[in-house]
Amino acid sequence: MLTTKSRDLTEAEKKAFDEDGVVCLRDALPTGWVQLLRDALQDVLSNPSAAGKNMAGAESGKFSYDIFMWTFNDMFRRFQAESPVPQWAATLLGSEKAYLAVDALFVKEPNTPNHVPWHHDQPYLWMDGKQVCSFWIPLDDVTIESGAVEWIKGSHKWGRWFKPKGFEPGKYDDYPDVFEEIPDFESERAQHDIVHFDTKPGDVIAHHLLTLHHSPGNSLSNRRRRAIAIRYAGDDVTYAKRVMGPQPPRDPGLKTGDKIGCDIFPQVWPRTTLEAPGFN
């Protein structure tokens, strides 16, 4: 049974998000919502958008990706309209409102070695401001062997923006020098407080969009790593058109510096009527 009731986030969870830039909300999402996301994800894998693709390339396995699913899939739209996650976003951001910036799926099938490089999300995306977050929602048991994300705690407070790295070979190699080159964090691991969370379906990881992270491949032969990532913006966020990176499905009709809300980036908390935007 689906419920719109949100469990309260604890003071410890809110403090961890603020200080560490990442927090695992244990057993937060009811079973009904987990199953709806599984059904929605499978529907999108079977009926992908124009942006849907396999990022494994020449490597073995399959690394599926799609984006803005809520705009064409009723189940993902229902998740935004009724689930507790938008309220959690507003709570963690200390924001009166929460706007949906984008949803995405990342599926690493068994024996998929693709390593997602160290990066943080905000330089890829169309948002300036501090009240930004993402929820990483696992739909399978996830361990480091199956591709659990690792995070550098506190990196959202460094005041540094790093140049995007492509999840596919060669992508963004020619990104203009508008951001700092990202260091080799793998060689600097001992210098940072790196954490990962073994998760089960129902757990949800919330992180700031400037928190640095990466994920190894799925080295297991008997378990998928299905995950949904949902990015939210709060009251202080303005639109920013990036030089390169993923793009909205159409021009949102905003100029750089405009407040983020519009039909492509709708308000989802407090709840409003959420409809699929037209693309004609």
Please tell me the distance from the alpha carbon of residue 22 to that of residue 42, in angstroms, as a whole number.
27
* CA R_g for the chain: 18
Q: Does the residue 278 lie in any domain?
A: no
Average pLDDT over residues 161-173: 82
Could you list the residue range(s) of the whole structural domain that residue 36 is in? 11-269
Q: What pLDDT sits at residue 280? A: 39
Q: Does the residue 148 lie in any domain?
A: yes
pLDDT tops 60 at residue 279: no
Q: Does the residue 276 lie in any domain?
A: no
Q: What pLDDT sits at residue 173? A: 78
pLDDT tops 80 at residue 1: no
Q: Does the residue 2 lie in any domain?
A: no
Q: What 3-state class would DSSP assign to 171?
A: coil
Please give the C-alpha separations between residue 37 and each of 1, 73, 96, 161, 188, in angstroms, as whole numbers: 13, 11, 26, 32, 36
Q: Average per-residue pLDDT in the chain? A: 94
pLDDT tops 70 at residue 204: yes
Number of domains in the chain: 1
Q: Which of 112-126, 170-184, 192-206 shows the lowest mean pLDDT across its residues?
A: 170-184
Average pLDDT over residues 159-182: 86
Average pLDDT over residues 140-152: 98
Return the ∠ at Cα 109 (arms to 57 and 75), rounded to 5°: 105
Q: What are phi and psi of 203, to 5 degrees?
A: -75, 150
Whole-structure pTM value: 0.96
| CATH number of residue 248's parent domain | 2.60.120.620
Q: Does the residue 45 lie in any domain?
A: yes
Are 147 and 215 in contact, with CB atoms under 8 Å apart?
Answer: yes
pLDDT tops 90 at residue 171: no
